[in-house]
Amino acid sequence: MNIQKVIEQLGYKRKEAEFYLAALQLGEAKISDLAEKLKMPRTSALMIAEKLQKDGLINYYVKRYNKYWVAENPNKLLLKLREVEEKLKEILPALKAMELKTALGKPTVKVYVGAQEIQLIFADIILAKNNFRAIIAWDDLTRILGAKFITNFIDTQNKHFLKLRLLTPVGNTGRLLKEADSKESRETRFLSRHTKSLNTATFIYGNKVAIVSLNETLSTGFLIEDIDVHNTITVFFEELWSIQQ
């Protein structure tokens, strides 16, 4: 895991994350030492130091007329994350009200590009709190999103008592899935033996349909929120479900 990238995800710029890590490594240092280590002008280093001080990530003390900067305990990063989470919880009802007002009676289509964005669709499935249906090329889905992510999703699904009805091509992976159905809140049926690969994953839940293209070059997800589209795709799914085993 890239430590610097994680710090940047808390809202810090690259140079700010680098500065904090440098201060942490040095223990205590004058601003000139930090500037030299980071190969930046002293004035730029001082601006970053003052900004991080306001955030409570670094502090200083004076010794013999020199100011020495010291990184605060890394637990401060966790506290900052919790503060952001609490603030988000406060405004979440207002955000949801805005979304509802905009979406009422208006179909929406959202596009997710790349594995990291596509993972948001899976988070939405959990948030919907409904049992769901899926037609999945499981091997392709695992290759794009990673086995660890898929395993974590199944665990989260189980914790929320959400059941999946799955249609997937027959094969070794499909058989393993079916064997694990009872402990993974799932019922698996196989598509026709002529269906070797789909290269897509389709999820039907709530009033939404998500279709994910599992292209290795550029995987893309399309999330359609429309009750008529949802109902039509559900009819197709149920027809397939009824003729499979």
From first to last of its 245 residues, what are the pLDDT tens digits of the chain?
Answer: 678 887 777 778 888 888 888 888 888 888 888 888 889 899 898 998 888 888 888 888 888 788 888 888 888 777 777 877 888 788 877 777 666 655 555 778 899 998 989 999 999 999 999 999 999 988 889 999 999 999 999 999 999 999 999 999 888 888 899 999 999 999 999 887 666 667 889 999 998 999 999 887 889 999 999 888 999 999 999 999 988 76
CATH architecture of 3-76: Orthogonal Bundle (1.10)
What pLDDT is stored for residue 196 in this prediction? 61
* pTM of this prediction exceeds 0.75: no
Domain spans in the chain, listed from the N-terminal domain onward: 3-76, 105-243
What pLDDT is stored for residue 126 in this prediction? 93
Q: Which long-range contacts (CB under 8 A, 24 or more apart) does 222-226 make?
A: 222/109, 222/110, 222/111, 222/112, 223/109, 223/110, 223/111, 223/112, 223/121, 223/124, 224/107, 224/108, 224/109, 225/103, 225/107, 225/108, 225/109, 225/110, 226/107, 226/108
What pLDDT is stored for residue 158 in this prediction? 92
Classify domain 105-243 at the CATH topology level: Endonuclease; Chain A (3.30.870)
* Interatomic CA distance for residues 37 and 187, integer angstroms: 58
